[in-house]
Structure 1
Amino acid sequence: MNSRANIDLASATRVSLPKAATQRDTRLDVLRALALITIFINHVPGQFLEGLTTKNFGFSDGAEAFVLISGISVGLAYGTRFKPGNKLSIAWKAIRRALTLYAAHMITTFITLVLFISGAWIFRQPGLLCEVNILAVLMDPARGISALLLLGHQIGYNNILPMYGALFLMLPLILVLEARSPLLLLSVSGSVWLVAGIYHIAPHTMLLDGFWFLNPLSWQFLFVIGFVAVMHVTRGGRISYNPILFALSLAYVVLSLIWVTDKLWMLGDHLAAFGLPTVVTGFDKTFLSLPRLLHVLALAYLIISMPTVSRLLRRPADHPLAILGRHSLNIFVAGTILAMAGQVILYVTNKDPAVGGAYVLVGIVAQFAYAYYLEHKRLNTAGQRPVATSVGAIPLPMRIEKRR
């Protein structure tokens, strides 16, 4: 692209990217940024902007979108380089990424503890100690800290990174199976998802009876679907436009909209009465029930099937959303910390709608400003070299072929 967007975000200095960087396909970055903003808004419950996010208009939300996008990103960053002579290094890179995600999770977890404990003390609000699943840690700190470090206990709203890290630990096996046969990988992945959902197989928690909030054995299926799809495209394949599939996807998205807005959840109970497992008929997020899975896939197919939407998502590399999505892990960590501080503020202000809305808007602006800071730092470190391909910033060579 030769055109550049003029950015004026608060007092942030305009980022000027090299020409090579502006030629990137930024659709993944933009979609990732939108998912991150949605997750941040939903992690500050009780303010009016929460009612405008996707979870209020369909079965899936920002978490499903983020994992599907991640599967596509990882396919481009790891799958395309998983070749003889390079397999061990790519597998090791995946393990290192999992360790990075673990460290990021520990940062958000312990800062969340500090924020809620400090808020309870400063504002004399002991009820804060009963929020976001931290009371179990405080009741037995020695056992509680150990559980946090071992991922046997997760603070509320701090549960995406453990699941995501587990997916990276699975990645070497995913790479091996996909190299052997994409169909084999999808079959194994789908079977694991189904069995885990039927028999409730998931990592257990240590302080309280239950499972991880987001079961990696279930969510890996969505991740793998994105991975296999993009690997198919990079090998010269097509995701063909099919009018029947397009109509079915659109109908399902509309049905989901009506179902959620009219609160028709009891219909799911009627479906369960036929003896079908809840992973097929329910809306459980832990085991990624089928209605949620189908919804995000239907949305994805509609997006890539409509050239107008695709063009709208393809922004210049110096567009705010492209920059935000390019630094996804840092922004996610910052957004989580801001969301936890926001929850403390809303608690002590009795969820004042004006305070909550204003805080979320300021938090979004702060994340964009932080993304600009990270971009300046990256450009200075790279000596104005083009943007490198990585898990956090990769192109999307998705092509749609219409059937005649």
Structure 2
Amino acid sequence: MAEQAAGVPQSERAASSSAGAAPAKHPSGAAPVSARDWRLDFWRGLAIVFIFWNHTVDNVMSWLTTKNFGVSDSAELFVFLSGFAMASMFTGKFLDRPIMAIPYGVQRAFSLYLHHITAFVVIATLAVLYREYAGSSVMERDLFVRPFLVATETVLPKLATLGYLPPLLDILPLYIILTLMIGVLFAAFRDRWAFYVGFAVVVWSWAQISGATLSSYPDTRLWTFNPFAWQAVFLSGFAAFLARGEAWFRDLMAAPATIALSITIVIVAFIAAAPWATLGLYEWRPLRIITDIADKANASPVRLAHFLAMAHLASLFVRRESRLGSTFLGRSMVLIGRQSLPLFVLSTVFAAASHGVFDWFGHGAAVQIAFSLGGAAILIALAFATEELRTTKRVSPPRPSAPRPEPAAAKPQTPTATAPSAVPEAR
């Protein structure tokens, strides 16, 4: 799920990149605004591809993602980076007029809402077409589309009010609520990162104690991502951006003890995930208690700690000056990340279509790999095409200049009868 963050205004980017010029600090004391970091788009693009593979039914390619090697997955990555990118845009655009973050949040949430409804209509259409063509209702059943087709009058209002969330269509509704929330919070808190952390902890704790969440049709189903809990993941990304320029934050990230702690968390989470269990070694899972308490729906702090540890190590080993960004893989992920919203929606449609593709062609490993790589290739191609269209300058053909009038030939001046004489008449 996800949002396409706006970049820093061109004038500020130019000022920050001038040779020998120190970046000016905002009057409010916020960290100086710098050019957009390509790593933000790279990780977000990679998260979209990983989410696509993870959502593709029983896909062998999901073994290349992080979900099998720890207690968190690409959902934390996507939501955290969305908060980070939103903070980048808000501080560059609304810091002097924070109240404008509220109408922007409403506008952005409405755009997400339209993408969500469009995705459902496309997926439901594919399910109906597959039933008509193949005589199989597997897509309608697996994607929970059948209730909408059978009881449209009952389900349609719930779809419109986000009370009906079929599988694969649960991230954008979460992001809609988070976008509305952050507009209000930024108008109140501006760039004070501690306020966002305090708000996140209080609301998350209340959700854990009270069990507060949102339900989906039928009422016994709950949201896959409890927004009262997952706001902590989003706001942790938002606060991380705001605090990143402070000396204590940089010192903390570079401290050997912090690095050692992150490495330890990643190793412990790997042992807890026990990827070797798929090979039949079910008994050798000494830390299974960690996976048992790693509740995804309610954003378990165990999952968040694991993700933050991985993010910390990734920021250390993949530097901004790394050559990874100039490789084909790096460039592809960056461009997907820049078009995160439409390509995320498209990847969701691809994942839904996998139910019909695997039902028709079989569920062999070759089919899974071909479908997964083919879908990723389409996302990459569309990302490159969109970037090319964005950067291509529309040069209009030069307008033909009007022909210059030829100088008129000199004519002898002939006095007319009505023209007065310039010289007095001699008498």
**Under TM normalisation by the shorter chain, which class is it?**
0.7 to 0.9
The answer to whether the Cα contact below 8 Å between 2:143 and 2:352 also exists between their aligned partners in 1 is: no
Residue 269 of structure 2 is matched in structure 1 by 256
Residue 283 of structure 1 is matched in structure 2 by 294
Residue 93 of structure 2 is matched in structure 1 by 81
Within 2, Cα distance between the matches of 1:266 and 1:146? 47
Within 1, Cα distance between the matches of 2:258 and 2:140? 49
What is the one-letter code of the residue matched to 2:44?
A: R
Deviates more, 1:87-96 or 1:176-185: 176-185
Asked if residue 242 in structure 1 is aligned to residue 255 in structure 2, the reply is yes
| Larger gyration radius, structure 1 or structure 2 | 2
Q: What per-residue deviation string (whole Å, max 9, x for no partner) do you get for residues 224-244 of structure 1?
A: 111111112356764321111
What is the one-letter code of the residue matched to 2:74?
A: G
Residue 10 of structure 2 is matched in structure 1 by none
Alignment CA distance shift 1:79-1:235 (3 Å): farther
The answer to whether the Cα contact below 8 Å between 1:26 and 1:313 also exists between their aligned partners in 2 is: no
* SS of equivalent to 2:216: coil
Deviates more, 1:174-183 or 1:115-124: 174-183
Alignment CA distance shift 1:59-1:382 (3 Å): farther
Deviation at 1:265, TM superposition (A): 7.3
Residue 172 of structure 1 is matched in structure 2 by 183
The answer to whether the Cα contact below 8 Å between 1:204 and 1:211 also exists between their aligned partners in 2 is: yes
The answer to whether the Cα contact below 8 Å between 1:94 and 1:168 also exists between their aligned partners in 2 is: yes
Q: What per-residue deviation string (whole Å, max 9, x for no partner) do you get for residues 137-187 of structure 1?
A: 233111112211111011111111111111101012321453374223211
Deviation at 1:101, TM superposition (A): 0.6
The answer to whether the Cα contact below 8 Å between 1:80 and 1:231 also exists between their aligned partners in 2 is: no
Alignment CA distance shift 1:244-1:135 (3 Å): same
Within 2, Cα distance between the matches of 1:221 and 1:265? 29
Deviates more, 1:167-176 or 1:219-228: 167-176
Within 2, Cα distance between the matches of 1:368 and 1:113? 25
Within 2, Cα distance between the matches of 1:323 and 1:295? 27
What is the one-letter code of the residue matched to 2:378?
A: A
Deviates more, 1:226-235 or 1:172-181: 172-181
Within 1, Cα distance between the matches of 2:104 and 2:245? 21
Within 2, Cα distance between the matches of 1:379 and 1:260? 44
Residue 96 of structure 1 is matched in structure 2 by 107
Deviation at 1:38, TM superposition (A): 0.4
Unaligned segments of structure 1, at least 5 residues = 1-19, 272-277, 384-404
What is the one-letter code of the residue matched to 2:270?
A: L
Within 2, Cα distance between the matches of 1:382 and 1:146? 44
Residue 238 of structure 2 is matched in structure 1 by 227
Within 1, Cα distance between the matches of 2:389 and 2:42? 20
Alignment CA distance shift 1:180-1:373 (3 Å): closer
The answer to whether the Cα contact below 8 Å between 1:303 and 1:309 also exists between their aligned partners in 2 is: no
TM-score normalised over the length of structure 2 = 0.76
Within 1, Cα distance between the matches of 2:347 and 2:298? 25
Residue 339 of structure 1 is matched in structure 2 by 351
What is the one-letter code of the residue matched to 2:386?
A: L
Alignment of 1:275-354 (within 5 A): 282-306=293-317, 311-315=322-326, 319-354=331-366
What is the one-letter code of the residue matched to 2:309?
A: A
Asked if residue 71 in structure 1 is aligned to residue 83 in structure 2, the reply is yes
Alignment CA distance shift 1:105-1:302 (3 Å): same
Deviation at 1:113, TM superposition (A): 0.9
The answer to whether the Cα contact below 8 Å between 1:193 and 1:218 also exists between their aligned partners in 2 is: yes
How many percent of aligned residue pairs carry the same amino acid? 27
What is the one-letter code of the residue matched to 1:30?
A: F
Residue 138 of structure 2 is matched in structure 1 by 127
Q: What per-residue deviation string (whole Å, max 9, x for no partner) do you get for residues 369-402 of structure 1?
A: 111121122223788xxxxxxxxxxxxxxxxxxx
The answer to whether the Cα contact below 8 Å between 2:269 and 2:306 also exists between their aligned partners in 1 is: yes
Higher relative contact order, structure no. (Cα contacts within 8 Å, ≥ 6 residues apart): 1
TM-score normalised over the length of structure 1 = 0.80
Unaligned segments of structure 2, at least 5 residues = 1-13, 18-34, 278-283, 396-427
The answer to whether the Cα contact below 8 Å between 2:37 and 2:320 also exists between their aligned partners in 1 is: no
The answer to whether the Cα contact below 8 Å between 1:202 and 1:216 also exists between their aligned partners in 2 is: yes
The answer to whether the Cα contact below 8 Å between 1:197 and 1:289 also exists between their aligned partners in 2 is: no
Q: What per-residue deviation string (whole Å, max 9, x for no partner) do you get for residues 307-355 of structure 1?
A: 6587255448992222121111111111111221122111233423222
Residue 421 of structure 2 is matched in structure 1 by none
Residue 399 of structure 2 is matched in structure 1 by none
Give me the CA root mean square deviation. 2.8
The answer to whether the Cα contact below 8 Å between 1:30 and 1:313 also exists between their aligned partners in 2 is: no
What is the one-letter code of the residue matched to 1:366?
A: I
